[in-house]
Chain A
């Protein structure tokens, strides 16, 4: 079990590094998904199968698909790859590298002090999670649901205002003679830089 934990942890770290360094946004998102899956395995080895399943269902399965969806719609071509390359200059890594080094130092200090990893605790099933959520943390759950409801209403509001303004958008695109929907589905490698 410990070997699986370390393998999954290494995979997670590597995938996260690759997420940062990939030039193609979709590839980066795929590595991020792999990283989340590896974190799910870590959860499982630490005795939280319920959390692992939720990680896969919600983060890897739903949220990342939405990310991929949005990136697909943005139609990022070679232009983006060049942009990413310019962003990924070695100088940009100095700050994060220092911060990460501090973190690694802290972790290794803690590990050295406590000796080995604490052995996995007893398995936490759905039952315990549910009891915890609706017992001591009930207020937190309610607050989170309020937040989500607020986000939902906000999204609906933004969407409905866009629908009312559709006529003006359409007439403007007619005037300029541009196919407004054309770019959405043009997946060719390059989109004219003027449109971007």
Chain B
């Protein structure tokens, strides 16, 4: 087949699947949370309540798309788009299977870091442009939290980069042929997981939108489809971190018997469910606890992980 056509099909396929999965996550999250809280969750609309997503989408499309008169209008409109764009762009470098990958660059991990650091703008600008003190507080929290945890995320990832000898995600997956990196890089995996939760602003680290303190944090003033974009952006982030966890530490598409696409989807779903379990079980820390924990524990631990991995890699090569 024509390679350009194939690439376009892959691109559209990833886009559609990821967006559908992101909206389906709304349903999955509500059902799973309900399951762990001894409830049912949405089960009325369609089979198992699956069409609840559709009903929610219809509702959110018909909501008044309100821009507050005191807001900074262009920035206010721009902010929710940034997060969706940056997260979707990151999916371009993720190798789902050997065939299903849009772009394989040798700076893929750096690209992911860059995009996630640009995603910070969405939250910060959304909070600032709303011109509301709760939004501003949420934006400030988001900025400091995401900037700090991005550092640890990058440092934690460098362990896998050292073992694989490349920034390319495909090379990293292929380097895990004999052993998943979760075994030699267990500390890195845990650090990446924690930083990933903080980076997607999921519970227990959802302090930027802590609804019991800050109304709804950075998106207090958002409604309608703009709020929907923040929402979808968050779920896209969850999917992205889950895919990356399985790619970097759990061998990506590799696994016995089943075809590669099934393996990557299974691993991703496992981590998505783990994210939801965290939400069901964890209380939210205080903000200063979050920050001091990050800088006083995560940073030394990730540096230690980096140094030890580097030393071991050097020793093995000798």
* A contacts B directly (C-beta below 8 A): yes
Asked if residues A68 and B143 are in contact (CB atoms below 8 Å), the reply is yes
Asked if residues B143 and A49 are in contact (CB atoms below 8 Å), the reply is no
Say yes or no for A79: interface residue by CB 8 A criterion: no
Asked if residues B144 and A57 are in contact (CB atoms below 8 Å), the reply is no
Asked if residues B114 and A53 are in contact (CB atoms below 8 Å), the reply is yes
B291 to chain A, nearest CB (A): 13
Choose among A24, A27, A57, A69 the residue that contacts B117 (Cβ–Cβ < 8 A).
Answer: A57
Asked if residues A126 and B107 are in contact (CB atoms below 8 Å), the reply is yes
Say yes or no for A154: interface residue by CB 8 A criterion: no
Asked if residues A50 and B107 are in contact (CB atoms below 8 Å), the reply is yes
- Per-residue CB proximity of B117-139 to A under 8 Å, as 1/0? 11011001101100111001101
Say yes or no for A162: interface residue by CB 8 A criterion: no
Given contact pairs A65-B124, A65-B143, A56 touches B114 in the complex (Cβ within 8 A): yes
With a CB–CB cut-off of 8 A, which chain A residues contact B111?
53, 56
User: How far is it, in angstroms, between the C-alpha of A68 and the C-alpha of B78 when the chains are bound?
Assistant: 15
With a CB–CB cut-off of 8 A, which chain B residues contact A60?
114, 117-118
Asked if residues B131 and A65 are in contact (CB atoms below 8 Å), the reply is no
B77 to chain A, nearest CB (A): 13
User: How far is it, in angstroms, between the C-alpha of A68 and the C-alpha of B74 when the chains are bound?
Assistant: 16
Asked if residues B118 and A187 are in contact (CB atoms below 8 Å), the reply is no
B26 to chain A, nearest CB (A): 28
With a CB–CB cut-off of 8 A, which chain B residues contact A72?
124, 127-128, 136, 139-140
Chain A minimum-CB-distance residue to B116: A61
A63 to chain B, nearest CB (A): 10
Say yes or no for B70: interface residue by CB 8 A criterion: yes
Asked if residues B105 and A26 are in contact (CB atoms below 8 Å), the reply is no
A27 to chain B, nearest CB (A): 7
With a CB–CB cut-off of 8 A, which chain B residues contact A61?
113-114, 116-118, 120, 150
Say yes or no for B147: interface residue by CB 8 A criterion: yes
With a CB–CB cut-off of 8 A, which chain B residues contact A66?
143, 147
Say yes or no for B37: interface residue by CB 8 A criterion: no
With a CB–CB cut-off of 8 A, which chain A residues contact B127?
72
With a CB–CB cut-off of 8 A, which chain B residues contact A189?
70, 131
Asked if residues B120 and A65 are in contact (CB atoms below 8 Å), the reply is yes
Say yes or no for A125: interface residue by CB 8 A criterion: yes
User: By the criterion of a CB under 8 Å from any partner CB, how many residues of chain B are at the interface?
Assistant: 34
User: How far is it, in angstroms, between the C-alpha of A189 and the C-alpha of B116 when the chains are bound?
Assistant: 30
- Per-residue CB proximity of A120-153 to B under 8 Å, as 1/0? 0000011000000000000000000000000000
Query: In the complex, which of the residues A24, A54, A60, A61 has the most CB atoms of chain B within 10 Å of its own CB atom?
Result: A61
With a CB–CB cut-off of 8 A, which chain A residues contact B72?
24, 26
User: How far is it, in angstroms, between the C-alpha of A31 and the C-alpha of B291 when the chains are bound?
Assistant: 30
Main secondary structure of the interface of B (DSSP, over half): helix
Asked if residues A185 and B117 are in contact (CB atoms below 8 Å), the reply is no
B251 to chain A, nearest CB (A): 23
Asked if residues B106 and A56 are in contact (CB atoms below 8 Å), the reply is no
Say yes or no for A33: interface residue by CB 8 A criterion: yes
Given contact pairs A61-B120, A62-B150, A65-B124, A187 touches B132 in the complex (Cβ within 8 A): yes
User: How far is it, in angstroms, between the C-alpha of A187 and the C-alpha of B126 when the chains are bound?
Assistant: 13
Say yes or no for B110: interface residue by CB 8 A criterion: yes
User: How far is it, in angstroms, between the C-alpha of A75 and the C-alpha of B114 when the chains are bound?
Assistant: 28
- Per-residue CB proximity of B279-291 to A under 8 Å, as 1/0? 0000000000000
Choose among A49, A69, A187, A188 the residue that contacts B106 (Cβ–Cβ < 8 A).
Answer: A49
Chain A minimum-CB-distance residue to B123: A65
With a CB–CB cut-off of 8 A, which chain B residues contact A65?
117, 120-121, 124, 143, 147
Say yes or no for A13: interface residue by CB 8 A criterion: no
Asked if residues B110 and A69 are in contact (CB atoms below 8 Å), the reply is no
Asked if residues A56 and B75 are in contact (CB atoms below 8 Å), the reply is no
- For window 137-194 of A, CB contacts with B under 8 Å fall at 185-189
User: How far is it, in angstroms, between the C-alpha of A27 and the C-alpha of B120 when the chains are bound?
Assistant: 16
Asked if residues B128 and A26 are in contact (CB atoms below 8 Å), the reply is yes
B91 to chain A, nearest CB (A): 17
Asked if residues B110 and A57 are in contact (CB atoms below 8 Å), the reply is yes
Say yes or no for A30: interface residue by CB 8 A criterion: yes
With a CB–CB cut-off of 8 A, which chain A residues contact B118?
56, 60-61
Asked if residues B144 and A69 are in contact (CB atoms below 8 Å), the reply is yes
Chain B minimum-CB-distance residue to A40: B114
Asked if residues A27 and B75 are in contact (CB atoms below 8 Å), the reply is yes
Asked if residues A185 and B137 are in contact (CB atoms below 8 Å), the reply is yes
Say yes or no for B167: interface residue by CB 8 A criterion: yes
Chain B minimum-CB-distance residue to A53: B110
With a CB–CB cut-off of 8 A, which chain B residues contact A49?
105-107
Using a CB–CB distance below 8 Å, which chain A residues touch chain B? 24, 26-27, 30, 33, 49-50, 52-54, 56-57, 60-62, 65-66, 68-69, 72-73, 125-126, 185-189
Apart from A56-B118, A62-B150, list 7 A-B contacts with CB within 8 A: A53-B111, A57-B114, A61-B116, A65-B120, A65-B143, A66-B147, A186-B133
